[in-house]
Structures are given as structure tokens and as C-alpha cells.
């Protein structure tokens, strides 16, 4: 059974949008057809009850058709069109570097063993759009604990699959994005209970455009930190690479915490537009998760470490 955590700071009084309901019902109907869907833990997890949350969920359609996935191009529509055939099985994820024991994991065995939870999180892209997503996944900490940390496990680097046959932009040798896409976290950020590896959303397996079969979600940071289609996790004793930080360090910091008072050099971060909504709303410090994470940055100048 799936455990539920909303982690929103607004008092839970409202029920999430109707669409969640419909999605779940529709999927549960599908779930009856074992031949179609098999018996993966994601499917087993579908018995969960409706979540209570003041956050209004962004529709499944919006979440799966408006994407950033530069391996498929820079516009928002290409990923949904071009990612359909991404081969997500078999899929191997490795955890190595400064750990007690390196792991080589088959995605299905991993999902079978690790308890999945639903996490309803706000998600804020550095470009100024936002959404609310009911992710399905597990805490990154639970995986890192399996590998065992050491005194040298200070940063975590994540790497997306490198396969130019599947990701057309990776073969563009004159492009300015250094593939494979990489992202990093400090170890305390990685171990924070809010940080998850997602394998699904709306109770369904992730679609390729959203980073199937496994992607990072760090809800208090700009979306570019939430790296997709991960094959490799490497612990390190020094600060690791971050693709956007490498491309334009003055525009994209390593930390990339959502911060309404530190503007991007080319636009304000004070407001954001939720997908499907007409009016903008105020951006929240740490995307609304300050109670859980502000302490991680207590003695840091967030204008400098943006």
C-alpha cells in the first residue's frame, strides 16, 4: 500500500482536483486487466485513497505534454512527440563512487523491493512556469543508505542515459549542451526526506517525456535540478557537475533554490505562472518548503550561492 505525503504547507482543507479522481478511477479499471499491466508494485500501489490537499493538481495532460527535455530539443512539445519510443526496459541504475558498497540495480527489482509513496509537490521551473504533480516514488535517502555513506560522501552526482540513437540532440556535436545531462546535490540535500526519485505520476508509470523510468525530484529547487532518465548516481567528496551551471554559471547556480528575491539575470523570479492558470502568483521562498529545508542554508548568503 502506498503511503501518502502531501508536504504542502497550506492547511489541508480542500480535496485535490477532480482530475486526480478520474485518473485514479480510470487507471484502477485498467488495473483489473492483469494481462495488460502486469503486477508491478506501481500497479499494486493504486489502491490508495484520494489525497487531501489544498494544492490543485495540474492536469495529467499538461504535465505530460509541456516538457523540458533538451535531449529531444529545446521546445516544450518535442519531448512528448519524440520520446515515445525511448527504451525504458531493461534499465540499469548504478550507485557508486564514495560509498561503502557500489550497487548495480535493475529498475524492476528496485521498484519491487522499495516501498513507493505518493508525494504531491509543487514544481517550479527556472523559466517562470510552475505546476503541482502527484509523483510516485521513494526517498533518495533510502537508496543511498543501501549503498552506505562514508565520511567522503559529500556530494551526489546524477547522470542521464547517454544514447545518441535515442536522444537526437546528443549527437549534435555543435550544440552547446554538454551531454550527458548531469546534476548534483550536496549530501544533506540528497538525504533530506523531501528529495525523491520518482518512477510514476498520477499513479501511472512515468512517461518517457517526464524522465522514465526514474528521475530526481527536488521540490524546493528549480526544475532543472530534477534530472530525468537517470542511469548513474555517483557519490563524491567534492562538488559535482551540473549541466546548466556549466553552460551559464552566472545564470544557473549549483544550488538553484527557488528564491523570489534573487532574479535570473534576464527575468524576475518574483512571480510564476501555474500551467493551466491565467493569472500569475507569487513565487514562494524554497518553493514553499522552507520549514523543511531552510536550515540547510542557514549560514549561507543565498544571493551568492544562488
Using CA atoms of 255, 258, 263, 264 in order, give the dihedral in degrees to the nearest 10.
60
Question: 69 or 91, CB closer to ligand MTE?
Answer: 69
CB of 186 to ligand MTE, least distance (A): 18
CB of 201 to ligand MTE, least distance (A): 8
CB of 298 to ligand MTE, least distance (A): 27
Contact (CB, 8 A) for 208 and 84: yes
CB of 179 to ligand MTE, least distance (A): 8
Contact (CB, 8 A) for 98 and 152: yes
d(C-alpha 247, C-alpha 243), whole Å: 6
d(C-alpha 42, C-alpha 207), whole Å: 13
DSSP assigned state of 273: E
Q: Which of 140, 177, 138, 142 is nearest to 156 (CA)?
A: 140
| CB neighbours of residue 27 within 10 Å | 16
Question: 68 or 242, CB closer to ligand MTE?
Answer: 68
Contact (CB, 8 A) for 132 and 59: no
Q: Which residue is nearest to ligand MTE (CB)?
A: 223
Instruction: Enter the C-alpha cell of residue 4.
Output: 501518502
DSSP characters over 26-39: HHHHHHT-HHHHTT
Binding residues for ligand MTE, rule: CB under 6 A, are: 67-71, 125, 160, 181, 210-211, 223-224, 226-229
d(C-alpha 111, C-alpha 212), whole Å: 13
Question: 41 or 223, CB closer to ligand MTE?
Answer: 223
CB of 47 to ligand MTE, least distance (A): 25
Question: 229 or 269, CB closer to ligand MTE?
Answer: 229
CB of 34 to ligand MTE, least distance (A): 29
Residue 192 Cα distances to 119, 142, 186, 187, 285, angstroms: 14, 10, 10, 9, 17
CB of 267 to ligand MTE, least distance (A): 14
Question: 62 or 237, CB closer to ligand MTE?
Answer: 62
Amino acid at each position: 500500500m502506498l503511503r501518502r505525503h502531501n508536504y504542502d504547507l497550506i492547511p489541508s482543507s480542500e480535496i485535490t482536483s477532480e482530475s486526480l479522481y478520474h485518473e485514479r478511477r480510470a487507471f484502477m479499471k485498467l488495473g483489473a486487466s492483469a494481462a495488460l499491466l502486469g503486477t508491478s508494485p506501481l500497479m499494486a500501489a493504486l489502491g490508495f485513497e484520494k489525497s487531501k490537499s489544498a494544492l490543485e493538481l495540474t492536469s495529467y495532460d499538461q504535465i505530460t505534454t509541456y516538457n523540458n527535455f533538451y535531449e529531444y530539443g529545446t521546445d516544450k512539445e518535442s519531448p512528448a512527440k519524440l520520446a515515445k519510443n525511448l527504451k525504458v526496459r531493461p534499465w540499469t541504475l548504478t550507485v557508486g563512487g564514495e560509498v561503502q558498497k557500489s550497487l548495480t540495480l535493475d529498475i524492476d527489482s528496485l521498484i519491487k523491493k522499495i516501498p513507493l509513496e505518493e508525494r504531491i509537490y509543487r514544481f517550479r521551473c527556472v523559466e517562470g512556469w510552475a505546476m503541482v504533480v502527484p509523483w510516485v516514488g521513494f526517498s533518495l535517502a533510502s537508496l543511498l543508505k543501501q549503498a552506505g555513506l562514508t565520511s567522503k560522501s559529500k556530494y551526489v552526482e546524477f547522470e542521464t542515459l547517454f544514447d545518441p540513437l535515442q536522444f537526437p540532440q546528443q549527437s549534435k556535436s555543435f550544440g552547446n549542451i554538454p551531454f550527458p545531462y548531469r546534476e548534483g546535490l550536496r549530501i544533506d540535500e540528497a538525504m533530506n526526506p523531501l528529495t525523491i526519485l520518482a518512477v510514476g505520476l498520477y499513479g501511472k508509470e512515468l512517461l518517457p517525456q517526464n524522465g522514465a523510468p526514474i528521475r530526481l525530484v527536488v521540490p524546493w529547487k528549480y526544475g532543472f535540478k530534477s534530472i530525468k532518465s537517470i542511469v548513474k548516481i555517483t557519490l563524491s567528496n567534492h562538488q559535482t557537475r551540473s549541466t546548466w551551471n556549466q553552460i551559464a554559471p552566472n545564470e544557473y547556480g549549483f544550488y538553484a533554490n527557488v528564491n523570489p528575491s534573487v532574479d535570473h539575470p534576464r527575468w524576475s523570479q518574483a512571480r510564476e505562472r501555474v500551467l493551466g492558470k491565467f493569472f500569475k502568483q507569487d513565487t514562494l521562498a524554497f518553493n514553499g518548503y522552507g520549514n523543511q529545508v531552510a536550515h540547510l542554508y542557514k549560514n549561507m548568503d543565498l544571493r551568492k550561492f544562488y
